[in-house]
Amino acid sequence: MDILNAYINLVPVTFSQSLIYSLLVLGIMMPFRLLGFPDLTSEGSFPLGGCLCAALLLAGVHPVPATLIAMAAGGLAGATTALVHLKLRINSLLAGILVFTGLYSINLRILGKSNAAMFNIDSIFSIINPAILTSVWLQIACFGGLIAVVLLALRLFLATEAGAALRVVGVNPDLAPSLGINLWAFTIAGLAIANSLTALGGALIVQLQGYVDIGMGLGILINGLASLVIGETILGKDTVTKQLLAPVLGAFVYYQLVSFGLSLGLHPSDLKLATAIFVLITLGLPAFRSRGTGREAMRV
């Protein structure tokens, strides 16, 4: 009963967090699914958004332009990864690793120290409604509205000619040039949009918490991938709408699993290992199923 009560008490908090982190999962999904570009830049663009937004707020910049600048910086990080891959012909995974590794030093330079508190600094939430900072239900309403707007904007964009061209780049990059689609432009734009969403998540989380740490992106990629895998397992990924909704649903389910693990007494430091094992099992299930089907066929 104590475990159940502890879990129930955590549900609203983790629901609110999952809505913010679904921006990160969307930023991971777009390159992977829409562009066919395995991108690891989010490990660096998430803390980049947080550190840059925090540094600007501490310098007295208004929260709205500070958040927008953080988004733009995330977009620049994504574009850099695309250019490293396209211009230097470096593997996409390695390009992302190189960029997020370099971003660690850049983030430290931007912030000027390893962490900083912003408890007495105005945030975008204190401007909208100060009660958001103390009310979990207002946070859920605020972030839920934001996610709805982002999903609608992305769905409308992907229904346009430009959105269709972006998906063609992901499905068949060799065919795209023959259709008059600029492979470079859409790859760069796609990664820029994805990482700007990731940076927005970082900027919002530091303003909500009133605290920023240079290591806030450590391991965040595996959390995002776990959420994406869960969402796609539940909803599927055969339509664009499902691809867009899967990150949001997956983030919700993943963070509910995290809160349930904490309620059971799992140490927070063990969550990364548990997540890695869960993702490994989920990704490996199709292989075990195909082996089982193959053995049954051989017996027949």
C-beta of residue 55 within 8 angstroms of C-beta of residue 110: yes
236 domain residue, yes or no: no
168 domain residue, yes or no: yes
Range of the domain at 140: 2-217
11 domain residue, yes or no: yes
pLDDT digits (tens, 9 = 90+) for 90-135: 999 999 999 999 999 999 999 998 899 988 888 999 898 889 988 9
258 domain residue, yes or no: no
Tell me what pLDDT residue 276 has.
Answer: 75
Tell me what pLDDT residue 289 has.
Answer: 57
229 domain residue, yes or no: no
CA dihedral of residues 241, 244, 249, 255 (deg, nearest 10): 170
Q: What is the DSSP letter of 112?
A: S
The counts of H helices and E strands in the chain are: 11, 2
279 domain residue, yes or no: no
7 domain residue, yes or no: yes
Tell me what pLDDT residue 286 has.
Answer: 60
Would you call 211 helix, strand, or coil by DSSP? strand
Split into its structural domains, the chain has a count of 1
Averaged pLDDT for residues 270-285: 73
Residue type, 2: D
- pTM assigned to the model: 0.90
Residue type, 38: P
CB atoms closer than 10 angstroms to residue 126: 15
Give the helix/strand (H/E) hosting 5. Answer: helix 2-29
254 domain residue, yes or no: no
C-beta of residue 27 within 8 angstroms of C-beta of residue 195: yes
Determine which of 17-26, 41-50, 218-227 has the lowest per-residue pLDDT on average.
218-227
Please determine, for residue 198, whether its predicted confidence score (pLDDT) is greater than 80: yes
Confidence of residue 274 (pLDDT cuts 50, 70, 90): confident
